Amino acid sequence: MVFTGGSGTGGVRDSVECYDPVSNEFSLATGVLTEGRSLLQALSLRDGRVMVLEGQTPIGGGSVAIVSTVDIVRE
């Protein structure tokens, strides 16, 4: 299971973490997002990588911008 992006008290996140239910532990995936983003889409690829696309990032004044990059990370 992969957790990526999202928002928190420090703003939007660019990290990608994997959860292993057998060991009940999280680990960082190989690679980070080129831009922190929330409300993103993620797709598991057959070779174990994850494609992260779309989403939005704050640009100030309560406005957001659509993220146009696609990132591929490895679990």
Domain ranges of the chain: 2-74
* Cα–chain center distance at 71: 9
Q: Which residue has the tokens 């922190």?
A: 36
Dist. CA 10–CA 58, nearest whole Å:
12
Contact yes or no for 67/48 (Cβ under 8 A): no
pTM of the model: 0.72
- CA dist list (Å): 58 to 12, 20, 34, 39: 8, 31, 15, 12
β-strand partners of 51: 43, 72
pLDDT per residue rounded down to tens, the chain (75 residues)? 777 777 777 778 887 888 888 999 988 877 778 888 888 888 889 998 889 898 888 888 888 899 988 999 887
